[in-house]
Structures are given as C-alpha cells and as structure tokens.
Structure 1
C-alpha cells in the first residue's frame, strides 16, 4: 500500500523497483521502544502468514495434483497439444523389413521330379519411415518412391470429441540396413497374377475356364517366374494383369501388381480417432475407419476396430490387465494384445504385449473366432494359424500367418520340404508400451503373406499348386527405440516433474512449519518485551492527511513508428502533496497517461452525447453521436479496458497509430481520442452506412449503377494506393469496412489489422482478412505477403458490387480454396511459380481446368472484366498493383460526382 511508505515501509509501483521512503521522526525514546515492539509483532505476523501460505500451498498441491492436471491437458488431442503433435508427426524411425521366399527347386517341382517346394529366405529388404503430417486436401495420395510416411493428413477436429484424418504410408529404400541385399536381386517367386486368377476362375463355369486356359497357353504364363525383388514387391507387370485391368477395371483397377504395393493401398480411406475430451484413456484411438466402427470384410464381432490403435499411440494410463487392440489395414483386422511381462527400456518402465495364441484361429478350436471363417462348413475353414483375408485383397487367395508358420497347424508344412524354421525370438510380434502415455517404446509387428490355393487341376500350368499354402514373403514393422530428444522429453515429464512436485510439497510443508514456529518465537519475544516494559505511553500521533491532494502528470506527445508495435515501458513522474509537504516522486505506468497522448485535443466525453448504437465488435461498441459544442455528427467507438495489466487491445493501438499518419479523402478520419476510465473512446467522422448495407438494400432484380461501381472502385483504390505508398497494408478489406456518404464518397475504415511492411517483407500471421476476401497465398499458408493481398480483396469487392453477392462464399478455408479453384481453375507451377512449396498446398487438389470468371460476371463490361481478371491473378508477383489499377482504361470516363440512391429494402 502507498501508506506503508508513510510509516517507513516501501511503495511498490507497477513494473518498477520499489522505492524506499523516509520514515517519520519519533518524538522520544519511548516511541523507539514502541516501534521495536511493532517490529516484533510485524515479524511474527509475517512468518505466521508465510507458514500458513506454505501450508495452504502444500495442501493445494496434494489435493489438486498440478502434475496430473498438466498431464491430462497434454494427453488430450488438440491443435498444438504435445501428445497430439507426437501422434501427428512422431519423431521416431520406423522400419519395414521384408523377407522373400525364393524357390530353389522350381524346375524339379514343375517337372514332377520333386513333390515339395524348397524355399530360401532372402532378406531383409529394409525400408525406412520418415514420419510427418500435413493439413492437406481430403484426397488420397499414392506414392511410388517407397518412403513410408505414416501420415495423419487433412486433420479436421469434429464436434463430438473426435478428429478425422487420412492414412498414408509411403516407403524409402534403406540399402545400408539391408545386409547386402539389393532391390535388383533376381529370385524365383510365385506369379501372383496367374495363381490368383487361376484360383478365382477355378470356381467358375466351363467356358470361363476354357477362356482362361487359352490365354495362359498363348502367353505361356508360368506359376513360378524369375523377377527382381523390387518387381515382386512393388511393380510386377503381367499380361494377365493387363487383361484384367482392361476387361474388369472395377475389380482389377491397377495394371501392375506388387504385394507391398497392394498392402499400402489407401485410396479413398479415412480414419476418425478420439481426441480424449470425453475420456483421456481413449485419446488417439480409432473411432471409425471409412466412417464405420467395423471393417466390412467380417461379421460382428470380428470386424470391430473401434478403440484400436494404429501403433502411434495406445490408451493412456494402462493397467496390467487391460487388453489393447492393434489395427493395420494390411492385417485385415484389429488384433488383441495381452500383457505378458514388465520391462525397462532406456530407463522407462514399459509393459510387454503379445498377440494371444488364439488370435489366428478360424473357429476350429475357439468358437469366438468362427466369424473369421469364410466357409459354411467348419471343416472347410483354414487350419489354425492361417487367416483367410481374400476379401481384403481383391478376392485373391491371400492368407496371413506368423512368419515361418510360427504357432500354426503342422499340416501347413506338408508341401514344404525345407527353408521354414519357426523361432519365437525372430517371428513373434511384441509391443513395449509406456503405460502412462500409451506411447510405444519398442515394437516389432511380424506376419507372413501366403497364397492359400484351392483345386487348380483344371487350370493350365497350375495343377501342381492345387490345395497348397504357398508362402510368399514375411514382414517386420519395427520401431527399435526412441530418439534422444524424445527420451529427454519423456524423462522430464515422467520423472523430473513428479519428483520436483514431491520435493516442492515437502519444502512447502517444511517452510510452513518453520514459519509457524518462528512466528511463535517472535510472539514470545514480544511478550517478553512487554514484561520488560510494563507500560509505554504511545505518544506517536499521525498528523499526515491520508488523502492525496493532487497529482500532476508530465505528459509529452510520443511519436509512433509505423513499422514497430506501439511504445512500451514509457515512464512519467507523478508528484503528490501530503499536508502541503512535498514527498519524493514515485513512478506510475504509462497506461494512465499515454491514452491522452494519442490526441492533441483535450475534449471530454461529456462534450458528446450518444444517439444510437450502430455496431458492436469484440472489444467495444460503436455509437452514432453528436458534438454538443459544434453540432458535428460523429461515430464514437467505445473500447472496454477491463484489465489494467493487459492495457489497450492491440487492434485499437494499431488503428490509432496508423490513422494518425494516413490522412486522405478516402480514408476515414480519426478526430480525437478520449480517455474516460475504464473506457477509451475513438471519435471518428460519421458516414451514412457501410457498403454491405447499401448492397443489401438494393431492390431484388436490380443492381448497382455501373457508374457508381466504377466511382467507388476508383476511390477505394486511391485510398489503398495511398496506404501502399506509405508501406501500410490494410489486411481486412471487405464491404463492412467501406463507409459511404450521400455525396458519392466512399472511405476505407477499420485499420485494426493494418500493418506496416518493409523490405524484406516481414512474416505475418495468415489469420487475417475475412474469409470471403482472403487471397489464395494467405489461404495456402504463405508467411510472407504484402500489398497484393489488399488487391485481391478489392477485386472480390469489385465483383460483389457488380453482382450484389460475394464472388467466393466459402464456409471454411479448404472450401474457400475450392470455390476459388472452380472459378479460376486449380493453380499449377505453370501459372503460379512456387505454389507447390506453400505449406497448405497439396499436389492432389481436385483439378479444375476451366476459367469461368466471365460466366460469373455477365453484367460487367469487357474492360471491367479485364481489370478484375488482373486483380484476381494467382501469382502475387504478377497481380496488378494499385498504381496499375488507377491507370487502367476501365477508369477512362470515371465520374466521381455520381451519387448513391438510398432506398430502404422492402420487407
């Protein structure tokens, strides 16, 4: 308190160092003894308050548990959330290892000399995942650069506690991790196209089989062929596949076939996951895939994927007996995970999870898995350990198992002579998961892709493979540890913060105990002091008037710089008088002074009276008013100053600063600024209405006078040309911010988002300009932009004046972009150099190729349409400037005297 200075204490001013004032003199020695007693009591009270405060703080920490509050806040999925960022763009290395089954006795087997196939495991062929994410168009993207990027694209937050994204997993070849293997290795591998089509057609009619046999013999298609490892995995071309693509495109819509390529096919897929707002434990888990809580290939409950994880994040706060779900599209199901052990990885405690033994049973041994059998007769179901997934792979006879038929029925080895050696250490899937966050610490997902063939005796060149389960390859998707940066972050969150909170709690309890004990000691000392001084007459009389008689501020006009934020930390001396005795100067913050410094006039709010409210915004209200002294009509913008510490809204400061410098016939005039605590009033000149209201009042079936359109456009451009010449961009041009008068004048208003710019162009936020008038470079996330954003907005306003309706009426940023693309065609590098490098650009945006601008503005003449097309050029560097607009032939006969006709719209 300020009065504490009068008694010898301190006066603590806002944002300043405290200033020690001189204590009053005391009359005699007895006053000194009284002061000693006061000091003892003051010390006792201070330490008592310290002890009580520490005790209360410790109890608050124990009860509220700030760490848990922080944890729950971070674990929720939301823009900028930490766990969400890890899910969106995991900073870890994910590897795909592929092992191919090379047939070593193909000639002997095909000739009948060998009854069983011999296999050689060849691999690994290793590919690395570079994790990333982007907010791109909600369209499928297919990659052939072999880089797995487990992306969560086009992330859209929904109102029901979920978000929607698009999965995509491209791959990149890692030769250094492939143990000498090359993608060009030549191997003998199954002809997937022949055997798949043979299996499908074997169940068809006689004529269909005859047709296929004819094609097989004419093309000499063989079931075992030599090809490179890369061809088999990604791009094997086959005559049969070409024929299938040509004559049955709805079934075989691809012209080349590769097992890994088909596994990573996500065309048109999208997933919806929980954000955790309705329950932290499910944050990051799948709600639906392609709009459904189950995949259509299986009957319930086998097809359920609700509550599963794609491996980036599992449930939070896992308990040891919890069963988790892991879903990957290539596995054609969500598999349960059970806790089997605890371990420590890089200093972090983790739970070890395996797939249970009954996971790949088809109902023969476990009735609950009966829905995984594709056959009506249970005896016809695939053997244990072999899951029939043909419905997930285009009807091809694909079946999944563990690598080397680990834990599968021994019957699967009947037609395999050698090469398969199951080993749980190499072939069993495991996950190690940190239980608090649900983040994987280590994982290896392993499964084998096989062909489970039927009776092929009636298909040419294929009979030797009848009723055979033919292994083709097996894969391991592995994440073998966390990067150092993530380890440090986890260590901070899971170890340091909890320990720090515990230490702080004990320290507060200790300090509170010390404070209370010391206060008791001080009280005892004060009592002893009283005993030694049984009576002290307190003759200390306070003669100071406790009312500040006056204060005088030394205020100067502060010059603003358009390229900087408003002034800060300006200090003004404040003098005070107490009982006519001059006391030392103290410091007060500029908030109380600078508001007056903005204006050179000294009007009071009492000099105006309000007539009616004409508008309302985030920070205040606008009234139509009148100056009592001059009779002048004004617009009064009242800004609320609810929090002294926060001060004036930045938009108001910018508007005051810029309008002091921008004096032009087509820019609204700021007359003065009045401080009437706790409100700030900006007094503007008054104009009749805004352009939006004028357009709304034009009768149905009628349009603005073309001469008035031309006049208004010319005046708006003159104002913006004036601004741009002074290195100011408006950034919020729209009809609501253009004010008109009855004499045909239009003025630009509301510079709250205006900014000064320089060379090089500064980095600005992209959250500017009302959506319908926002330039495409801003919509696509350009951090650097300048005057062309205003030109685009003027072009949109020009079109709206000509047609009475906005040209691009998007309801979201992506919808706004698509509406622009439909009219002006989708931009490419040819028409806008550098567009593909913008953060929000996606090469797979829908491709609109026609420019339909002229069809949208049939009532605009040829010169007007030419000017508008130059204002709506995609490339900002090629967009016409304000100076170029002023010189355009459209304004050859501009009439600035034409006046608007104000007509109230009939209801």
Structure 2
C-alpha cells in the first residue's frame, strides 16, 4: 500500500512538472522573439542609454586605409603619343581614427554631428615609405589645360608661358606623403592670388589633404527612438536634403545612412544605401549571400555592376553625365572642374577598353571588388572592405605645349581600400549579448518543451499501466480470489481410483 501511494505521488509531481515545463517552453517560443526584437530595438537606437551608443560615437573597430599608386613608367613616351604603362606601388597603409563631436539631439527624432577623422601611417603594414617617389600626371596642369581647351588661342599661349616660367610639366615626380597630404605649388599660389575662387582650397594641394584632421560635413540623421525603421537614415547633410552637383533630381538625392550603420532586422531583399561626401553622391549596395564572421551570422552586400555605369547602359545614371565609357563616373563637377573619374580599382566591372588602354592593369573580383558584411539583426557591420579608384582624363590640348601629343586616355592615379573588422573585447561583447544569449534562450525553450512533453508522457504511461493492474487484480483492498463454492465448470481434485492406478 505505502509503495503504491508513493508512486502515485511521484507520478503526480512528474505530471505537474512536465506541464509547467511544457507551458513555460510554449510561452518562451511565443514571447522570446518579441523580447529579443524589443531589446535589439532598445540597444541599437542612437540614444545615450543604448548599448551601441558608445560604438556609434567612437567606432571601436580598427579601420585601415591601404593606398596603391599607379607609377607611370614611360612619361616621356606618353607625351609623344605612346600608350601609358603603369606599375602598381604599395600598399601604403594608414590607421584611420573616427570620432563624432558636436552631437546635438533635436525634437524631430534626429541628431546632428560632425565626425572627425585622422590618419596615421603604419610602416609595419606598408610596402614602402611616405618618402617613396611616384611618377603621376600633374593634376593641376592637366586640369587647368582641360579648362582652357575651348578658350582663345591667346589665353592658351599665356598659360603655356606661365607653365614654362613656373617649371610646370605634364607629369610630376612627388613623394607619397606629398601626393597624399599636400605640397606647395607656385601654380596654386598664382591661381589663388589672381583668380580667387577658382579652387575650393588654399595652401598645399594633396589628394587626401582635405580628409586628415577634418570632418566630412554636418550630418543630421534619425535616431530611431520614435521610428526604428528610419534609424541612421540621413535627414540632411550640411543643412541640405539634396545636392546640386548633378543633372537629375534622383542623382542629387541624399539617400541612405552616413555609411557606418543601417536599420536592424534586414532580409535578403534589403539593400545598403549611404551618402558619401567624398563621392558627392549616394551609393546603393545589394545583397549577395549569407555568411558567418567569427561565429556571427552576416549578410554580404556588394556593388551592383550598374554602380558606375554610364547613362546609355543604365538610364538612371544619366544625371551623372557627361560620361565616357561605362564603369567610370565623372566627378569633375564636385572636384573644382578637374576631369577626375571614380571607379572600381583597375577598372573592374567597367568597359574592357579602359583597362586595355593602359598597360599594367589586371582587374579581378578577388582583389578589386568591394563588400560589406552586416549582422542582419542589428544592421552593424562586422567586416568590410570598400575599394575605389581615382583616375584623371588626360589628352593633348592644342595650344598648350606642356600637353605634347598625349592621346586621350583615362589614366589611373591611385586606388584605396578602407577596411575594418570587429575584433577583441567589442567582438566578444557583441557575440555574447546579441548571438550567444539569444541562441541559449532559443535552445532552452525547446528543451523545456521537450522535457515537459517527456514528463507528461511518463505520467500518462504510468497511469495507463496502473489502471491495467487494477483491472487485473480487482478493486484495491479486496482478496485476489473470491471465497465460496467452486464454479460448476471448475473441476475438483479427487483421489484417483485404484483402477486408474492399476
């Protein structure tokens, strides 16, 4: 009796425990995804109380800019009409630091900021030093010559004499440091003195002089506190909702984010759009594939082939023209009128004629395609490498002797890769809070549901078997055999007769 009573109590405890586990697991399955979304929404918004605010304010990921120059090997021959031959030099690697300041929150769910950047040369990661000499086209001479192409012959003659007096030539031999961060040039001093306003800068001239220890303008973006779907999207840049560099409203529109974070809860149908002040336009990347970075699930986004396509290949880009071959974008309107072009390195994804017109170029996806690996739940980049090339359109200008007999060609100057990957303590914290913990909760809910169902099944089996025993043994407490006269059909044992034994 005591044993059966204890068994019944144990079965009851198992049943109640199983029911609770199953109920808790079912509740977690229903509520955990919603709770995770709420926590992500709370912690990715631009708010001093969010976990990602410090990451947004000062990016903890080490960023590097690797610069590769195209050293012109035959400048004298090019002046006589030969095909340019270049040799890639580098990388010259710089550590890039970014920090937002002048942060100001507004009542319309936006925040304004400036982001200061600085670059520090990394000799141990570089192949060469900033004192290396590179032969490149003289950008100021070629740009000034291009601007004079349709001017009167007298003005061209005066410019030729001025170039000669100042010792200016079509090609220049400068150090990496000078090309990057600036050098003094008598032509620049002359233009600023006698033609003020012709150039948007004063002092030294360098391709990256405006980026070091400076900012890219005043960005105003949505915080996501009131409307999460608009988080990080640019509301205005330098007080503008669109620029006026291009020839169509679509090309002038400022779309996407400032290029560092994107709205959370992405899908393969999502795209990455951002405004780049350096390119003077918005760019849009498209989803390519799923991946994993250091245990963190990612979506890889890449540039579509139409990113720098000309208007005849991709009509929406007509506003960026006048265009040359497809695959390069004319940025002269936002670069003081100089015939500069933006593209992928080595003219990757561009009209093949561009790479064939310059000896020494080898475009390929592995080395020259750009990508961003984004954690789709938070919209935060895990690993990225953005690669772009700057080229100069050069040709002989009749009446300006310094340009010789140069055949028209888009000549690459340099290409650079801005790369960064989350690592160290930041990566571990991100993985623990946004990957490991949700995964643990995900497994716990199904373990609880399975455990509860198993315990309930054990209880049911016990009850069925217990009821079967009761039916076989009769009512609890009764004798196993009834007393009274034997059934007529039950044979009685009798002593065998002597005849049977004989």
Q: TM-score, normalised by structure 1?
A: 0.46
Q: Deviations over 1:582-609 (max 9, x none)?
A: xxxxxxxxxxxxxxxxxxxxxxxxxxxx
Taking the TM superposition and a 5 Å limit, the aligned residue runs for 1:98-497 are 98-110=67-79, 112=80, 115-129=82-96, 149-179=97-127, 181-252=128-199, 253-262=201-210, 269-298=217-246, 299-310=248-259, 312-374=260-322, 381-413=323-355, 415-416=357-358, 418-453=359-394, 456-465=397-406, 467-479=408-420, 481-497=421-437
Taking the TM superposition and a 5 Å limit, the aligned residue runs for 1:434-583 are 434-453=375-394, 456-465=397-406, 467-479=408-420, 481-505=421-445
* d(CA) in 2 for partners of 1:385, 1:410: 9
Q: Deviations over 1:205-242 (max 9, x none)?
A: 44433332221121231111221111111112211111
Indicate how the Cα distance of structure 1 residues 50 and 384 shifts in structure 2: closer, same or farther if over 3 A, else same: closer
* d(CA) in 1 for partners of 2:209, 2:423: 29
Q: Deviations over 1:402-438 (max 9, x none)?
A: 111112223324652x211112111111111111111
**Contact 2:43/2:52 (8 A) holds in 1:** yes
* d(CA) in 2 for partners of 1:275, 1:302: 25
**Contact 1:193/1:238 (8 A) holds in 2:** no
**Contact 1:287/1:307 (8 A) holds in 2:** no
What's the CA shift for 1:202?
2.4
Unaligned runs of 5+ in 1: 1-40, 130-148, 375-380, 522-530, 533-907
What's the CA shift for 1:453?
3.5
Taking the TM superposition and a 5 Å limit, the aligned residue runs for 1:527-676 are none
* Matching residue of 2:497: none
Q: Deviations over 1:764-790 (max 9, x none)?
A: xxxxxxxxxxxxxxxxxxxxxxxxxxx
Indicate how the Cα distance of structure 1 residues 287 and 265 shifts in structure 2: closer, same or farther if over 3 A, else same: farther
* Matching residue of 1:583: none
**Contact 2:348/2:368 (8 A) holds in 1:** yes
What's the CA shift for 1:486?
2.3
* d(CA) in 2 for partners of 1:188, 1:502: 59
Taking the TM superposition and a 5 Å limit, the aligned residue runs for 1:865-904 are none
What's the CA shift for 1:384?
0.5
* d(CA) in 1 for partners of 2:377, 2:446: 24
Indicate how the Cα distance of structure 1 residues 107 and 57 shifts in structure 2: closer, same or farther if over 3 A, else same: closer
What's the CA shift for 1:62?
2.5
Say whether 1:76 aligns with 2:45.
yes
**Contact 1:272/1:289 (8 A) holds in 2:** yes
Indicate how the Cα distance of structure 1 residues 422 and 505 shifts in structure 2: closer, same or farther if over 3 A, else same: closer
**Contact 1:318/1:436 (8 A) holds in 2:** yes
**Contact 2:221/2:236 (8 A) holds in 1:** yes
Indicate how the Cα distance of structure 1 residues 265 and 358 shifts in structure 2: closer, same or farther if over 3 A, else same: farther
Q: Deviations over 1:65-111 (max 9, x none)?
A: 3222212111211013122222211211111011111111123333x
**Contact 2:395/2:409 (8 A) holds in 1:** yes
What's the CA shift for 1:319?
0.6
**Contact 1:431/1:444 (8 A) holds in 2:** yes
Number of residue pairs aligned between Structure 1 and Structure 2 = 446
* Matching residue of 2:31: 63
* d(CA) in 2 for partners of 1:415, 1:491: 48
**Contact 2:396/2:405 (8 A) holds in 1:** no
SS of alignment partner, residue 499 of structure 1:
helix
SS of alignment partner, residue 117 of structure 1:
coil
Unaligned runs of 5+ in 2: 1-8, 463-475, 478-502
Q: Deviations over 1:567-624 (max 9, x none)?
A: xxxxxxxxxxxxxxxxxxxxxxxxxxxxxxxxxxxxxxxxxxxxxxxxxxxxxxxxxx
Q: Deviations over 1:634-683 (max 9, x none)?
A: xxxxxxxxxxxxxxxxxxxxxxxxxxxxxxxxxxxxxxxxxxxxxxxxxx
**Contact 2:310/2:326 (8 A) holds in 1:** yes
What's the CA shift for 1:184?
0.2
Q: CA RMSD in A?
A: 3.1
SS of alignment partner, residue 302 of structure 1:
helix
Indicate how the Cα distance of structure 1 residues 103 and 304 shifts in structure 2: closer, same or farther if over 3 A, else same: same
SS of alignment partner, residue 408 of structure 2:
coil
**Contact 2:115/2:215 (8 A) holds in 1:** no
SS of alignment partner, residue 112 of structure 2:
strand
**Contact 1:446/1:476 (8 A) holds in 2:** yes
**Contact 2:387/2:416 (8 A) holds in 1:** yes
Say whether 1:96 aligns with 2:44.
no
Taking the TM superposition and a 5 Å limit, the aligned residue runs for 1:20-31 are none
* d(CA) in 2 for partners of 1:278, 1:321: 24
> Quick one: higher RCO (CA 8 Å, sep 6+), 1 or 2?
2
* d(CA) in 2 for partners of 1:409, 1:512: 63
Q: Deviations over 1:123-150 (max 9, x none)?
A: 1110012xxxxxxxxxxxxxxxxxxx22
* Matching residue of 1:742: none
* d(CA) in 2 for partners of 1:116, 1:56: 74
Q: TM-score, normalised by structure 2?
A: 0.81
* d(CA) in 1 for partners of 2:59, 2:352: 40
**Contact 1:295/1:305 (8 A) holds in 2:** yes
**Contact 1:362/1:371 (8 A) holds in 2:** no
SS of alignment partner, residue 218 of structure 1:
helix
